[in-house]
Structure 1
Amino acid sequence: MSESPIDKLRRFIDKSDAIVVFTGAGISTESGISDYRSQGGVWERFQPVTIREFIADAGKRRLYWQRKLALYEQNKDAGPNPGHLAVVELERRGKLLGLITQNIDGLHQQAGTSPDKILEIHGTNQEVICLSCQEIWPWEHAYERLIKGEEAPVCEKCGGLLKPNTISFGQSLNAAVLNRSFALAEECDFMLVLGSSLVVEPAASIPRVAKQGNSGAWLAIITQSATPLDGLADLKIAASIGETLSAALVAPS
């Protein structure tokens, strides 16, 4: 009898001791958060504001904050879904080496994954940072000021520009976070990709390193769309992340 995709995924999980999970927008769309790159998404409807424009142009800065506020109001009630909770279960079983996410929504932390297991390669919208003194505050620090009418909040310590602690167009990724992500790819025995199209570099190369690097890890991809690594993967499932993982984490009857 041939092995079903769910049974194969279950076998990979059961036989692995150092799983790295790599998540993209697809896991959060199951919580009702739209994919920025999808048809009708934010980047199709709005021209992104680059980091250079944010710093140099007060009008662009105000526009940026208007959009951030609108997106926050749109998504503030979104919560973790079964896919996020499945990652928590992997950690509970002692199998999760690390979680690398392209998402900025903080839902993995909200679900209960340990913060020290999480690498947010595109930053987080749960914080704001001063671009001058690097002071960090919770998002609510800026939100309360925005809803009171401030159009582009500035740092209360030094007067510098505040910005959500995310990576904008033209802004460099955090080198330490990226390096640690590639290191995890070399250390894992199973790379599990959830909801990423694997087209945004250099992050998209992380699963390839896991498969082709020194670790020779299994690679499974669960995402509705095709990815450039589908042919390299040991397993590709085009189905709901939450439903697929929930089934794989239950012992077969």
Structure 2
Amino acid sequence: MASSPLRDFVERHPRLLVLTGAGCSTGSGIPDYRDREGQWKRAEPLRYQAFVGDALARQRYWARSLIGWPRLKAAQPNGAHRALAELERRGGLSLLLTQNVDGLHQAAGSQRVLDLHGRIDAVRCLACTHRQSRQQLQAELLALNPDWAALDAATAPDGDADLDGLDFSSFRVPPCPDCGALLKPYVVFFGENLPVARVEAALRALAAADALLVLGSSLMVYSGYRYAQAAAEQGKPIAAVNLGLTRADPLLSLKLEADCADALSWLLPGG
């Protein structure tokens, strides 16, 4: 099997903290957010403050999600997810820290996964402890809004769909069945703070790792960039595979502009 700079990096650092972003899931048909320059490809995602403070913004969010969720639910792991599960099986991965909310790393067999931004397949109440599956909420949304199910729109990132130009004021959003308060996807929205325990767990894993490997993330959002920054401060080497600019480019000891699945194909049979 031919050597490569990335393979050499991985084999020199057997206690890797791997940080993945949207570029790891594009091969599964889930669009990403940013272009090669790290700029938004579309309007910035809905912010937390708008979701909790604006009923029409919530109606628009859930209407778009009604169309987009089934497509995300049907997504399957690609070669990048399978390669990282194999790397874990070989003992070369201390933690897989993902910015993605799609659950595809777990679906591929990875077990040492920390979902930095949460999981889109769960919903929680903002006032009480009630949680339910996103699929259960989908059934409720469809029952309340049967006429919306026939609409179509382009797939957008993270279970969203580009459903615009409509009057969303008639869209019905079910409240929490336990207390009647707002239900929200169990993900961290823009403008919302990450859970402190989750951040600290990832920093502890980084402290115990001997290198950081970034896959498919521009690191433009500080929630991911902080780990590259911390690795650099600790004198740990950082490699990145990303199609375009990353915020951490000046900190990298290795940078590959490549598709994640292609770059990791050597970990899979026939690679």
Displacement of 1:109 in angstroms is 1.1
The equivalent of 1:192 in structure 2 is 213
CA offsets, 1:86-129, max 9 Å, x none?
Answer: 11011101121101111111111111111xx2222222101000
Q: Distance in 1 between matches of 2:269 and 2:190?
A: 41
Classify 1:46/1:146 alpha carbon distance in 2 versus 1 (closer, same or farther; 3 Å).
Answer: farther
Residue 162 of structure 1 is matched in structure 2 by 183
2:207 pairs with 1:212: no
Whole-angstrom distance in 2 between the partners of 1:67 and 1:118:
28
**Is 2:129 aligned against 1:134?**
yes
Which runs of no fewer than 5 residues in structure 1 stay unpaired?
none
Question: Is structure 2 residue 56 aligned with structure 1 residue 35?
Answer: no
Matched, 1:113 2:110: yes
Label 1:49 to 1:223 Cα distance change in 2 as closer, same or farther (>3 A). Answer: closer
Q: Which amino acid aligns with 1:240?
A: D
**Residues 138-149 of structure 1 correspond to what in structure 2 (within 5 A)?**
138-149=133-144
Change (3 A) 1:8 1:36: closer
- Quote the Cα distance in structure 2 between the aligned partners of 1:48 and 1:249: 35
Aligned residue-pair number: 241
1:59 pairs, out of 56, 59, 71, with 56
Shift of 1:228: 2.6
Measured in 1, the distance between the counterparts of 2:267 and 2:110 equals 19
- What's the CA shift for 1:249? 6.2
Structure 1 equivalent of residue 248 of structure 2: 229
Paired residues of 1:188 and 1:210 also in contact (CA < 8 A): no
Go from structure 1 to structure 2 and tell me whether the alpha carbon gap of 1:231 and 1:54 turns closer, same or farther (over 3 Å shift): closer
Unaligned stretches of 5+ residues in structure 2: 146-171
What CA distance in whole angstroms lies between the structure 1 residues aligned with 2:255 and 2:54?
44
Name the TM-score, length of structure 2 as normaliser: 0.81
Instruction: Give the aligned partner of residue 171 of structure 1.
Output: 192
Counting aligned pairs with the same residue, the percent is 38
> In the aligned structure 2, how far is the partner of 1:128 from the partner of 1:189?
35
- Select the structure with the greater relative contact order (CA < 8 A; seq sep ≥ 6): 2
Matches of 2:182 and 2:77, distance apart in 1: 31
SS of 1:165's equivalent? strand
- Tell me the CA shift for residue 248 of structure 1: 5.6
Q: TM-score, normalised by structure 1?
A: 0.86
Aligned to 1:246: 265
Of 63, 73, 78, which residue of structure 2 is paired with 1:76? 73
Amino acid aligned to 2:261: G
CA–CA separation in structure 1 for the residues paired with 2:46 and 2:269: 44
Structure 2 Cα separation of the partners of residues 147 and 246 of structure 1: 40
Give CA deviations for 1:27-75 in whole Å, capped at 9, x if unaligned: 1111111013349xxx755564332332233222111111222221343
Contact 2:81 2:105 (8 Å CA) reproduced: yes
Contact 1:178 1:203 in 2 (8 A): no
